[in-house]
A and B are shown apart, each in its own frame.
Chain A
């Protein structure tokens, strides 16, 4: 494939155009119910962004980390304090700085990755999860000495214009997600991503070829935490519209881990597929429970069943397709194009035979 514009091939540009067309024109003009924006599209974009963060550290660099929600909390509360205490920074400025603050935590808790891997690293990153949540919970300053435990998030104001309707918030999330996704794709394709993948595939070989393990791993953790921090800030300001440490507990970390693995390790589109699946599946299950069984099944049982299915899917994917749903999608596309090609060849052959 020849690059057409800068280093992008024609296929990339078409993909981008289709995605933008769908998300900017089609969705806002066809979906008018607020429910879709506030409970599905906005959390989907935020969680997909966090999952990209998880992908960078886990899918691309191969470091088993389990602290995404902790970094999200760091980003969300940094955002709250920045808007409160440094109003001159503006929304976008605060978003970037809160991402950087989360990245600082990422560097700190990513340091053990230089020494250990696998489950050892997982335990080290669990420390970040518990420590960050505890810190926010125990020091009143982070919550502006609010005693109720739940703080209302400030309204989003960009360049003097308020963004408070669900549609406007959707566009804010969309813009941030688009920019960061493009950045992530670029990083994954460039030398940065190649270093990450070299470390993932065999760190000793990578090191002996001159890839600095220290730099690569710490960089991956920092960038991952940056993504999670920004995602956390958006999650709190656009979706929850409130800030409470409990919202970012270990369960959310597990959820993001599931999105990452089920979606497909080491793929960016897998992050979006995985997030969509984990978000939509419970909605679907609830709808089945309500419409088919008319509420005869208790809601707690439905959520238990959902858990069983997620866990079961995780096992099934690990056994049959460790590369997740993104790979399934890829396989499907390949099969279709093969079919198309073979039918083309057949047509060609038949037309040739007719001629002769």
Chain B
């Protein structure tokens, strides 16, 4: 009995920590949605692009770790700048579906550019943190939890606290929220829209880079990251598109539910149900609570 409970705890904790990885991807998405009410479908491609650039700088040019990270972050700022100039500004007054489709195109561009520049083979990313159980926890609590999962959890927590403080207490954060609420009104009282957009896209790019590092260290830096990042979408639906805490809670729910289902129910169906379980869970949320757990209620005026 105790063993079973321990095993369940292990599955649950593993799932929760894996869920923080989804949260990290979802976070970039929420940032952009909060500031510009744009669904950025290319967030997954940004994850792939940024971490592949990071690996490319490190492995092809032998640039040291920290410098490569900074370079990759700068590259993401450039990507943000180009996106703002070339995609978002011309589509300022377009409907949200049009912008969404344009970001799908942007995702394609980023994926293609990354592969053209740095090749298609799987790259290994070594962060110096092993993806194996921490001995201290395994000995004392008898839970096998990967060090990488714990690191991802910590990084996610730090980023959330940082972003929360930024949104809540700084002038920039206030500007961001104003722009999200009504871009026209915000710009008419003198909030520089362009700067805000650039800032948000750069921040989302850096968040993508961090998420990509965590994913890359686990699964290798490869194209499959884009598909994994698609799972951030159900996370967002459960948590709500405009809520940073929602992204985290949504990620935790998805991570835990998919692991528990996979371990306990999966064997009856031949496994691999984690491929679709998050989406079906998202459908149930959509049917009963379309705005998600923490999202603002969707009101459409006639």
Contact = CB atoms under 8 A, between A and B. Distances in A.
B55 to A, nearest CB: 16
Contacts of A318: 91, 94, 98-99, 101-102, 105
Contacts of B302: 204-205
Interface stretch (B10-18, B106-114, B129-137, B204-212): B106-114
B275 A310 contact: no
A62 B276 CA distance: 25
A319 B91 contact: yes
Interface stretch (B58-66, B145-153, B282-290): B282-290
Which applies to chain A's interface (DSSP): helix, strand, loop or mixed?
helix
B33 to A, nearest CB: 10
Interface in B77-112: 86-87, 90-91, 94, 96-102, 104-112
A305 B106 CA distance: 13
A307 B108 contact: yes
A254 B230 CA distance: 13
A131 B276 contact: yes
B39 interface: yes
Contacts of B275: 130, 134
A314 B104 contact: yes
B107 A311 contact: yes
Contacts of B272: 134, 137-138
Contacts of A307: 108-109, 111-112, 115
Interface residues of A, number: 42
Contacts of B115: 300-301, 304, 307
Interface residues of B, number: 49
B128 interface: no
B279 interface: yes
Contacts, number: 130
A139 B270 contact: yes
B116 A126 contact: no
B105 A130 contact: no
Contacts of B286: 112, 115-116, 120, 123-124
Given A124-B286, A261-B101, A304-B116, A315 B106 contact: yes
Nearest to B292: A120
Contacts of A126: 230, 233, 279
A276 to B, nearest CB: 19
Contacts of A124: 279, 282-283, 286
A16 interface: no
A336 interface: no
Contacts of A131: 276, 279-280
A313 B112 CA distance: 13
Contacts of A120: 237, 286, 290
Interface string B261-302: 000000001111101100110110011001000000000101
Given A120-B290, A318-B98, 14 more contacts: A123-B237, A126-B230, A127-B280, A131-B279, A131-B280, A134-B273, A138-B270, A204-B300, A250-B230, A306-B112, A314-B108, A315-B87, A319-B87, A319-B102
Interface of A: 62, 64, 112, 115-116, 118-120, 122-124, 126-127, 130-131, 134, 137-139, 204-205, 250, 254, 257, 261, 300-301, 304-315, 318-319, 322
Nearest 3 CB-CB pairs, A to B? A311-B108, A314-B105, A307-B112
29 contacts: A118-B39, A120-B237, A124-B282, A126-B230, A126-B279, A127-B276, A127-B282, A130-B276, A131-B276, A134-B272, A139-B270, A204-B300, A301-B115, A301-B116, A304-B111, A304-B113, A304-B116, A304-B120, A306-B112, A307-B108, A307-B111, A311-B110, A311-B112, A312-B109, A314-B104, A315-B105, A319-B90, A319-B91, A319-B102
